[in-house]
Chains A and B, each alone.
Chain A
Amino acid sequence: MVAPAVDLLRNPLGAVRGLFSIAAMVASPAPAATLELSGGDWGIKGVFDKFLYEEGAIAQVPHIDDLAHDSIPSGSLVRFRGMIQDMFDVEYYVGAYKDCNTWQTNKYTDSPVPQDTEQQIWDRRLFYCVPIPGENQWMKNTWHSNAVQPDATSQSLKRKREDIPATVEIYDGNDADLKLNDIAEFVGIVWKESELVSISASDSSALAESLMEDDTSLQLPSSTVPRLHCITMRKLSAYSIPSQPGALADICSVRESLVCTLQSVLGEDRLAAEYLLLHLLSKVYSRVEPLAVGKFSLNFSGCQAGADGSVSLVASAVGHAISVLLPCSQVVPLSLEDLNSCLIAPRKDYATNRLVTGGLQLASGTHLTLDETALNTGRLNETGVKNLQSLKSVMESQKVDYDFQYYQMEMPTDLPVLVVSCGKSRILPADALVPLRCSAEAARIHAEASDLSKWRIYLSSAREADHVIEPSMQKIVEEDLVAARQKDRTVGSETFHRWLTMARLLSLSYGERSLTRERWEMMKELEMRCAARLRETTT
């Protein structure tokens, strides 16, 4: 395929049309052949992929939200990074029409077509994407630092960049591997109507009107929400960070420095810092209904509530530390008013045919810090009870029930949850409970930028790594588990799950790929010290 001699960056539609006309010509003038054109993309994705990723032109593509909204001309190439918040129905559009005996394509645009022409109907899919919820500032900066402002005029505007949602049209069945709450970077052609136009069905009967009434694309006109016609895209994960310059040299020392920092954040509590590190590395790596294997939610007890209803000191210090370490995180104070006021699980609104988002619609990998110290005594209403159930279901099985009115739909998720509470949290059952023993005030994180970037890379790569167990080690583990249970009947499958998860995370935190005796013993040592603390607190 010869790359057409047009500027892909400035006139992407020109390239699209060029490639289409070549394909249409090759396909011979037989009318049946135009059907074939609807299937392929005439090599467009290939051309753009090569241009953007191999030749590195992606850096020159402006972010949709870097531009003042009214300065983007329709038909320019932009990129947009966001989370898929809602997936709409398949859209049928005129993909090609015959104009003076030659076929013209209308793909990647919203331009109107002349009436009374021969037309081809193709389909595409519309997604509603929002800025990644809970994304931390440093992460946004990393993505935007390598973006080049397209020209001087927009730079001179110096407007404050704001996160905006966008609708994305996906073509050629590329939506197949995209799921709700996925994060992706879309590159495509932005299209917007110059003015708000009223759209009506081709006949204005009551019937047609009621057909159109809950049409989602009408509620999101491109004059208010930019519409991106996606040519190519990359799926991203919420834990991965864009640039990872090589492996870290000395994992153990990076680990040590990170634990020390976490220790100071937690009022010099080393044990809690170790648990927190493991917690930050956890992710769900397999599901055996109804279990989510690998999750490791943590509960710090013994925290004081913040003064006059604000977030407790520990929660805010830990929350801040996590926000500079992980790409996406949120601190949620659990106050009665908040719990009772609005639902945190998303629900479907059939009147608009859209998914109403909730606090728990987050990309997998987003960290949640729940501050239970903010919870006062009082009465929970129906909403409050439902909200607590949703939180409980996230902690227990990493699933959120989306309310589709006629049925609940379970959406698997992966949100590591840290609960900060006064006593042991009975409402939100965590996998591990650590009573805090602060010998100093919980402090906000202080660190060099270079350290921070090292820790971020460390956390991200350790979280992604695989882990195995050797048969010999498996024997030892089994024996240990049996012995522990024979000794203490309260040790049950819950404890076993926790131990196995911790042992795995501990190995990963040292950069090891298989479980060793040393790490297993280390895990037991941690658990022993934690159990001792628990006994102290209860007596």
Chain B
Amino acid sequence: MAEPSSPLVFPESPGLSDRVPATPVSAARNGSARRPRQSPSAGSSGHSTPILPGTPGFGNRTPNYFKFTGGRAREAEPQAEGAPVEDPGSKTYVWGTNISIDDTREAMHLFFERFRESPEAVEAKYIQLLDQVIELEGRSLNIDAQNIFAYNEELYSQVVRYPLEVIPLFDMVVGDIARERRPDWNNHIQARIFNLKLSTNLRDLNPSDIEKLVSVKGMIIRCSSVIPEIKEAFFQCLMCGHFPEVTPVDRGRVNEPSKCANPACSAVNSMTMIHNRCTFTDKQIVRLQETPDAIPEGETPHTVSLLMHDKLVDAAKPGDRVEVTGVFRAMAVRVGPNQRTLKSLYKTYIDCLHVKKADKSRMQMHGGVEFDNNEIFLETDTSPAVYEAKINKLKELSKLPDIYQKLTRSLAPSIWELEDIKKGLLCQLFGGSTKKLSSGASFRGDINVLLVGDPGTSKSQLLQYVHKIAPRGIYTSGRGSSAVGLTAYVTKDPETRETVLESGALVLSDQGICCIDEFDKMSENARSMLHEVMEQQTVSVAKAGIIATLNARTSVLACANPSGSRYNARLSVIDNIQLPPTLLSRFDLIYLVLDKPDEQTDRRLARHLVALHYEDPEVELLEALDLPTIAAYITYARQRIHPKLSNEAAERLIEGYVNMRRRGNFPGSRKKVITATPRQLESLIRISEALARMRFSETVDECDTVEALRLLDVALQQSATDHSTGIIDMDLITTGVSASERTRRENVVSSVKVFIMDRIQAGASLRITELFEDIRANVNQEMSLQDLKTALNTLMTEGFVSVLGDNVARS
């Protein structure tokens, strides 16, 4: 079958037998091999059935081999599956190269029979896998290209360079081995090679990749309908009804018998194809687009078409992020049908061998899926070595003594100050661990955070940032989202009239963080939905006859303006927030983001802004971790670290909780301040766990609980609140105070304490101004009256002194 378009009889074929180039990629090969092998040249065969052509793909692999006998190239018969024609004395080569078919098959056999992942393994890995395939009547065997590389580098490079010739060999070898293991085995098993050493950027594909094995990552954006393609044609004679054996499709073409094979009939041109008895395979065209993170700024994403066969059809849906391995191919474009001239354009696509669904950019909570080599679509993302190195880097990071500070600094570095809030958000990102009791009750590990504060205090920016690094983060504005927008929505599919549940933000962010901006603008209805989500972690939908309970194991990060749009210092905290206490108590951390005068902070802000406008702002951010690192760090911690409460920590927690309860016990204060409830105790546990996770520590230590108590305290400005009235003393707000400033204040407190111990007898009292003068004169420390007042307040909560009007008394 020497058709003129076949590269096999290309007139310029260099003398292959003696001029095999050292580098197998020769220009001649490239030039000719790129021509369409399957162009059904007009009039070349009158009996070709016109409906049959198709691009040769891995659906029907029929490679081209050459057999050299005496230096003259002659085409070998297309190899029947598993039964290569052996012609003793001659050697078969992959066309245009010095790759011997026999040697390659030998290498493959060895690979299958000998390759073991660890020296201790009793049986060869792929023999084991193949047995499984046979057992399950499977049709494909996944082969890790990294394994091939580890066993035989040459074989690996052959597969990558000449996949069209070498992969069918793999199929044959697999078939041979399968028959060895089970003689009655009669099915074709496809070798699906995946996990190439190099994954090509979709953007970087170029003509030199044509007909090479490539691996690209991207997002599926369009799937065509399934295209049936004929594999075996069934003919029957119209005259006598005789039918011969099914005719296999050879490179997209079927040879229609011109004469009835029944000697009694022998009618000419009487054979007709019976569609119902032909065998077909599925094909599908899928469009793959670059993932957003691979696109350089200011460019549009590139796309590439994928050709899927058989089992790969519908394996991935639009929106899935996948990594595909396949052969990059080009197909000529013709000017008008049936014309001999070709347009100079080629259409490219990837003939897919293997599809791997990957979702690397977002973190998975529950340790991901187990590594299962023979399942087509689930594999780990990276090679173990790279993964190991990454983990080690993260572990090293976790050993840094200042990792907590470092993480805090790296969170939204463009936002100035608000350190404690950032710490709270970090806790939310890390999360506590979910506990499931044997009784079936479960305690959520998600930490919910509410930010309440004046407009223009960068709340929204913080939200945006969290949304960026959060796993499955969803960002929504309370103003725009109705109850259904947040939860779930029942629609009718316009085409099928099926009722479909469309997930809302909360369901979509299952196992992630749902960021809700303008929480106060949200309708009462929508907010009431949150009650269920935030404690039971489910959403119930009862609509159109569907009653569904959907999982919504999500952390909520909400931000709201105070009820009067600005914080009113004359009102109590509760009056300012104006949210129902039932909802409020479901938030673990409620931050009042209040602005308060502090010259030091102002100065730093001013310097920061001037630098922003005039200098290279990069310099300032040097010390921060970059976004992918933080994301990876958080992912690892959430997956692998499940800290347990130590005894000391537990005691410390109890003590702290009892103190909190006591503080809220002023007569009549119940309505004015947020009193501690058992929910707060749970919050404390979660926050402590999150803090331990940040250190990659398996136990929650005392230091974690101390910090957790402090965070909870700072969040609501507890230390600054007058508990009898619920009013915050604006001078005492600590949010946004930097660590160094805090240390300074602590020093002031301790030195004031020492001073008071010295000067004031128990029960005696002194005017504050006098005390101030006294300290100023005697203590070698910079201190303002304000500092003193702050210190006294702290001491008061400790019960060390009492302040009555202008007088300080030691109790």
B207 contacts A350, C-beta separation under 8 Å: no
A-B contact count (CB 8 A): 249
Complex contact A200–B333 (CB within 8 A): yes
Task: Determine the distance from Cα of A467 to Cα of B337 in the docked complex, in whole angstroms.
Answer: 63
The CA-CA distance from A224 to B300 in the complex, in Å, is: 24
A112 in contact (CB, < 8 A): yes
What residues on B are CB-neighbors of A202 within 8 Å? 36, 38-39, 331-334, 342
Q: Decide if A199 touches B335 in the complex (CB within 8 Å).
A: yes
A205-B53, A290-B464, A468-B614 known; A110-B344 Cβ under 8 A: yes
Contacts of A205 in B (CB 8 A): 53-55, 229, 252
Bound-state Cα–Cα, A119 to B340, Å: 15
In the complex, which of the residues B5, B30, B330 has the most CB atoms of chain A within 10 Å of its own CB atom? B30
Closest-by-CB residue of B relative to A501 is B613
| Assembled-state Cα–Cα distance A33/B30 (Å) | 12
In the complex, which residue of chain A has the Cβ closest to the Cβ of B605? A493
Within 8 A of B (CB), among A85-127: 86-87, 89-94, 98, 106, 109-116, 118-123
Q: Are B606 and A92 in contact (CB under 8 A)?
A: no
A220: Cβ under 8 A from any B Cβ: no
Which residues of A lie under 8 Å from residue B612 when comparing CB positions? 286, 288, 291, 293
**Contact digits for A8-33, partner B, Cβ 8 Å, 1 yes 0 no:** 00000000000000000000000111
Q: Which residue in A32, A92, A481, A486 is a CB contact (below 8 Å) of B609?
A: A481
Q: Is A208 positioned at the interface, with any CB of B under 8 Å from its CB? A: yes
Tell me the bound Cα distance from A120 to B208 in angstroms.
Answer: 10
Contact B300 A87 (CB under 8 A): yes
Question: Digit string of A273-315 for contact with B (CB within 8 Å is 1, else 0)?
Answer: 0000000000000101111011000000000000000000000
A210 and B224 form a contact (CB under 8 A): yes
Closest residue on chain A to residue B229 by CB atoms? A207
Which residues between 200 and 253 of chain A lie within 8 Å of chain B, taking CB atoms? 200-208, 210-212, 214-215, 217
> Cβ of A482 and Cβ of B603 under 8 Å apart?
yes
* A interface majority secondary structure: mixed
Task: Determine how close the nearest CB of chain B comes to the CB of A480; give it in whole angstroms.
Answer: 8
For the complex, what is the distance from the CA of A198 to the CA of B295, rounded to whole Å? 33
B36: chain A residues within 8 A (beta carbon)? 202-203
Contact with B along A461-481 (1 / 0, CB 8 A): 000000111000010011001
Within the complex, what minimum Cβ distance (angstroms) separates B306 from chain A? 10
Q: Which of A135-143, A329-337, A399-407 contacts B (4 or more CB under 8 A)?
A: A399-407
A290 and B461: CB pair below 8 A?
yes
* Docked-complex contact A406 and B283, CB < 8 angstroms: no
- B30's partner among A35, A214, A348, A478 (CB-CB below 8 A) is A35
| Min distance, Cβ B225 to any Cβ of chain A, angstroms | 8
Chain B: CB-nearest residue to A32:
B27
| Cβ contact of A217, chosen from B222, B345, B609, cutoff 8 A | B345
Q: In the complex, what residue of chain A is closest to B210 when comparing beta carbons?
A: A121
Residues of A close to B318: CB separation below 8 A: 406
- For B253, give the chain A residue with the smallest CB separation: A203
Number of interface residues of B (CB under 8 A): 88
> Contact at A121–B331, with CB atoms within 8 Å?
no
Q: A90-B205, A179-B298, A486-B602 are in contact. Are A500 and B609 (CB under 8 A)?
A: yes
Given the complex, which residues of A lie within 8 Å of B205, measured CB to CB?
90
Interface size on A, residues (CB 8 A): 90
Indicate if the CB atoms of A489 and B614 lie closer than 8 Å.
no
Q: Is B414 at the interface (CB under 8 A from chain A)?
A: yes
* Chain A 487-521 interface mask (CB, 8 Å, partner B; 1/0): 00100111011001100100000000000000000
B811 proximity list for chain A (CB < 8 A): none
The reply to whether the CB of B35 lies closer than 8 angstroms to some CB of chain A is yes
The reply to whether the CB of B341 lies closer than 8 angstroms to some CB of chain A is: yes
Per the bound structure, the CA–CA distance linking A353 and B345 in Å amounts to: 18
A197 vs B342: C-alpha distance when bound (angstroms): 12
Distance between Cα atoms of A199 and B339 in the complex (Å): 10
Chain B positions near chain A (C-beta within 8 angstroms):
4-5, 10, 12, 14, 21, 26-28, 30-32, 34-36, 38-40, 53-55, 205-207, 210, 219, 221-222, 224, 227, 229, 252, 283, 285, 287, 289, 292, 295, 297-305, 307, 318-319, 330-337, 340-349, 414, 416, 456, 461, 464, 480, 595, 597, 599, 602-603, 605-607, 609-610, 612-614, 617
Give 30 pairs: A residue, B residue, CB < 8 Å, sorted on A. A32-B27, A90-B205, A92-B207, A98-B12, A106-B344, A109-B344, A112-B335, A113-B342, A115-B341, A116-B35, A118-B10, A118-B28, A121-B210, A122-B207, A199-B343, A201-B331, A205-B54, A208-B331, A210-B227, A211-B305, A211-B347, A217-B345, A286-B612, A293-B613, A350-B222, A467-B614, A468-B614, A481-B606, A489-B595, A496-B605
Which 7 pairs across A and B sit closest by C-beta, in order of nearness? A179-B298, A481-B606, A92-B346, A31-B27, A202-B332, A112-B341, A118-B31
